[in-house]
Amino acid sequence: MDRKEWNRLVENHAPRFGGFLHSWQWGEFQRSIGRVVERIYREDEKGITLGQAIKIPLPLGQHYWYVPKGPIGSASIDHRIEVLRQELDESMFLRLEPVEDAGLLQVPDMQPSTTTVLDLTVGKEALFESFKPKTRYNIRLAERKGVVPKIVNIKRFEDFERLLDQTTARDQFSAHPHAYYKTMLETLHGDGANAFLAVGFYKGRVICANIMIDFAGVRTYLHGASSNLHRNVMAPHLLHWYLIQDAIVRGMHTFDFWGIAPVGSSQKHPWQGITRYKMGYNGKIIEHPGTFDLQMKHMWYGFYRTVRGIRRFKV
């Protein structure tokens, strides 16, 4: 199956958010950073099963297969899981993110299980009026202050690196190595999923930057970074509004903010700050069941879980 046909099938069966993780380009990106990727497709009397599985090495010669936001397709979730069990080589376990509850063992999320999305088909005027008053105020403030949002090429990647380092230190979270993001931008393009860099300038200097992915009519805000300086000019608000309007012009139907704290989370949840920011755009909340493990080697998996638990306890 070629790239165009694979992406067409994925688009037809994509989950409400995260469909780009099944795109042909995402698989090639994973391969480019040294991972083994298997594309699973089966059509039988029970329907279609589709999934992009990434092989994750473990100590002692073991591994597991990770299927982000999947498996997908028209077959029942039980049948889709059975197809994966048959198609993937023997592993310690399968880590899955189906959009239906499959009755498996739930583990901490790999990808966000809750997000907020905007319906772009209502048009920019209706969207802007739907934003919360503080968000509309901050967008107008950034415009008055002279912030200039723009989509740029890979030559501006050093600006993203600089801002990412400031953001991770300020907000105390870990990030991928810089090469991961650069390879993503270099790999995800062409007929299908497209990753690109967008930045906000203030007085000629980049003070915020986003990595975005477009796939199947959905624009996803995947990674963001901002400067420690000039935070009062609210540049990220205007950058997002610019990217929303640009997506409308390009005929896309959905803008995905890619991850908020689960509904009902404690105020101590590490995503509460970014959740308040994203919820200012007043999108629709979408929830998936989460991340689950299907044991394949029961003794090995029990050992793996015990070691993981000990490590978390020590931390």
Tens-digit pLDDT string for the chain (315 aa): 899 999 999 999 999 999 999 999 999 999 999 999 999 999 999 999 999 999 999 999 999 999 999 999 999 999 999 999 999 988 999 999 999 988 999 999 999 999 999 999 999 999 999 999 999 999 999 999 999 999 999 999 999 999 999 999 998 888 999 999 999 999 998 889 999 999 999 999 999 999 999 999 999 999 999 999 999 999 999 999 999 999 999 999 999 999 999 998 888 888 999 999 999 999 999 999 999 999 999 999 999 999 887 765 443
Question: For the packed helices 235-249 and 133-145, what is the interaxial angle rounded to 10 degrees?
Answer: 100
Instruction: For tokens 């805000």, name the residue.
Output: 221
Distances (CA, A) of 185 to 141, 181, 195, 256: 30, 6, 5, 18
Instruction: For tokens 């990106």, name the residue.
Output: 29
Look at strands 148-152 and 47-57 and give their pairing. unpaired
Sketch the domain layout of the chain as residue ranges.
3-111+289-314, 114-287
Whether 3-111+289-314 and 114-287 share one fold: the answer is yes
What is the predicted pLDDT for the residue at 153?
96
Q: Which residues lie closer than 8 Å to 313 by C-beta, 6 or more apart? A: none
What is the predicted pLDDT for the residue at 312?
59
- Indicate the residue type of 284: K
Distance CA 132, CA 117 (A): 15
Q: What CATH number labels 114-287?
A: 3.40.630.30
- 3-state class of 161 per DSSP? helix
Distance CA 94, CA 53 (A): 9
Per CATH, which fold does 3-111+289-314 belong to?
Aminopeptidase (3.40.630)
Burial of 229 (0-12, 13-18, 19+ CB in 10 A): exposed
pTM of the model: 0.95
What is the predicted pLDDT for the residue at 314?
42
